[in-house]
Amino acid sequence: MKTLIEFIHEKQADFPFATGEFSRMLNDIGIAAKIVNREVNKAGLTNVMGFEGTSNVQGEDQKKLDVFANNEFIKALGHGGQCCAIASEENENLVTFDSKMSNNGKYVVAMDPLDGSSNIEVNVSIGTVFGIWRRKSEPGSCGTMEDLLQPGRDMVAAGYVIYGSSTMLVYSTGKGVNGFTYDPSVGLWLLSHPDIQIPEGGNIYSINEANYIYFPEGVKQYIKYCQGDDPATNRPYTTRYIGSLVSDFHRNMLRGGIYMYPGNKKNPDGKLRLLYECNPIAYLAEQAGGKASDGFRRILDVEPKSLHQRSPLFVGTKHMVDTAEYLMAKNSPDFNPQA
Ligand code: AHG
Ligand code: MN
Ligand code: MN
């Protein structure tokens, strides 16, 4: 099987601007992911579970593994020198590096170092999500806010790591989605899932339905649609919800389905963060032939205004997201049936 490094080098030729820096950065992410994987696998044996005693900018308690994973990815990207700034769920402000090499780096990274961290204690799959953009500011000084506040459509790569029954690294550089499974016996990422495509015929819907009464009318109607009786369209669908975006999306991308985290009465923009959760997942979904929306518009076209901005997310098999979008529009006050 092809290794991640072989694959990255082979694909480098696809990019006329490639100088090897981008490849090096992807490789560094792969190395940090191995280190995080090692700790995740030891959860329960060593003292890595539980709370760090601090909270992040969202006011969420940080777990020890949130902090560990954050440090590992920042260290790897800082050491590599291709990345000039990072936006992370665990850091209120931009992370920049006090080094000439990093200040000359061409790229910026937005990341959720540990996604689904509430699942650590119960041995359920968790993940890491990342998106990569080219910087807008001139190289030679620290990366800026402007470098990170770019729409998802301008990403040059995105991916995730899933620490599950096996650990996988799944990423795209805009030419399809490829998945690598980690073989711990040799310490290598091996290409196990080339050119992933979201199946059209899947029947999974994933949503935290306990919030039903707070959902917008369009979402309530879409849930009822999923539960409808129509064998011709594979309905009723089946519900699967882990509570780790990465794991829920990974399953739906391989099997076919829709993941939704809508806005609700308490949080109109939902819970997920645009830069480092919605955008990378949306990029992968589109690259796999699927679709990602905030209910009304393409996620990748949303112009970000702040690092930790939230957005509703509807992502997965295209026709499912289309139907959800239709019902959202139909139930919005400015619905135009002619449009
Ligand atoms: P994180 O652990 O990075 O804070 O993310 C948790 C997110 C996401 O992974 C998941 O899909 C969602 O929270 C689940 O939220 P609910 O518990 O509200 O369903
Ligand atoms: Mn998350
Ligand atoms: Mn997280």
What are the structural domain ranges in the chain? 4-193, 204-330
Given CA atoms 236, 322, 109, 273 in this order, what sign does their dihedral have? Answer: negative
Asked whether the predicted pLDDT for residue 49 surpasses 80, the reply is: no
Highest CATH level, class, for 204-330: alpha beta
Q: Mean of the pLDDT values across residues 61-66?
A: 82
Beta bridge partners of 93: none
Closest C-alpha among 272, 309, 278 to residue 291:
278
Ligand nearest to the CA of 244: 1
Q: Which atom of ligand 1 is nearest to the CA of 116?
A: 2
Going by CATH, does the domain composed of 4-193 fall within 3.30.540.10? yes
pLDDT of residue 260: 98
pLDDT of residue 338: 57
Share of the chain above pLDDT 90, in %: 81
C-alpha–C-alpha distance, residues 212 and 159, integer Å = 30
Residue 287 Cβ inside 6 Å of ligand 1? The answer reads no
Asked whether the predicted pLDDT for residue 20 surpasses 90, the reply is: no
**Residue of 120, 244, 247, 281 best suited for mutating to test ligand 1, as the one with most atoms within 8 Å of CB:** 244
Q: Mean of the pLDDT values across residues 131-138?
A: 97
Task: Tell me what the pLDDT averaged over the chain comes to.
Answer: 93
Residue 66 Cβ inside 6 Å of ligand 1? The answer reads no
Asked whether the predicted pLDDT for residue 335 surpasses 70, the reply is: no
Beta bridge partners of 109: 86, 132
pTM listed for this prediction: 0.95
127 burial class (0-12, 13-18, 19+ CB within 10 angstroms)? buried
**236-285 pLDDT per residue, tens:** 999 999 999 999 999 999 999 999 999 988 899 999 999 999 999 999 99
Residue 320 corresponds to which tokens in the numbers above?
């499912």
